[in-house]
Structure 1
Amino acid sequence: MVEFKVTTERQTQLLDITQLVREAVASGQGSAAVVYVPHTTAGVTINEHADPAVARDFETALERIVPSDWPWEHIEEGEENAPTHIRAAFMGPSVLIPMRDDGTLALGTWQGIFFCEFDGPRERSVLVSVLQ
């Protein structure tokens, strides 16, 4: 398993981590790579990474789908982050990416891997494991 850190700059932010994941799996041969985010207010997804507007659209859409001004029941003083848990659950904590025989990720031409921050800015961990 390889662990790397990402640092976010905004409360809601999608970061393209494709190259970091490629580097994490570069030394291993396997059938697939698991990318896992061990946080309840962050997630990971695969989507288009050729146009940065796609990530910004995701950020805006998730904030509109799960607005902060609902009467949330999960309220911790100083940590009013109930909607961030819901947004993270929509994205999910992990993705599974098949690997080619040469050890590279079998992503589509336009696909990238995104770390999804919903309670930033923070430093976060991303775990990558190659399955044999």
Structure 2
Amino acid sequence: MKKLLLGIAVSMFSMAAHSQILKPVNWSYAAKRTSKTEATVFIKATIDAGWHLYSQNVKDGGPVKTTFTFPANSAYTVVGKTIEPKAITRYEDTFKMEVSFFEKTAVFQQKVKLKGKTAVVKGTVEFMTCDDKQCLPPEEISFSIPVK
């Protein structure tokens, strides 16, 4: 009986601890072939209400900007910079400066030149989110996007 009660207590504690973890941004991925040798990968951020995801174009001294990294790969090459949608730009007291950010959703696009019939585009995104009360530490997420 003591083991059962201990197990229930541990389960309740771990559920309570897990519910404290904030994850206000969910990422999803897709790819679309645009020609025999090119494709565009789409990296979508779905942002919880009240939270901001910051642009790739934030000046020094502000929040951590969203950064995409694509390591060298023999199956494809990255073409140009990652494109982002039009951001909201506003003065934020927290940073004492104007910052650019996204609310609700943001779809980033990256063109790639394919070296074969298929590829898996791999990389990471580093980002930071804030609401009107707090900022979360920067996070880095790995992704893997098949191009067929």
- Decide: shared fold, TM above 0.5: no
- The structure that is helix-richer by fraction is 1
Say which structure, 1 or 2, has more relative contact order (CA 8 Å, 6+ apart). 1
Q: TM-score when scaled to structure 2?
A: 0.31
Larger Cα-atom Rg: 2
TM-score w.r.t. the length of structure 1 is: 0.34
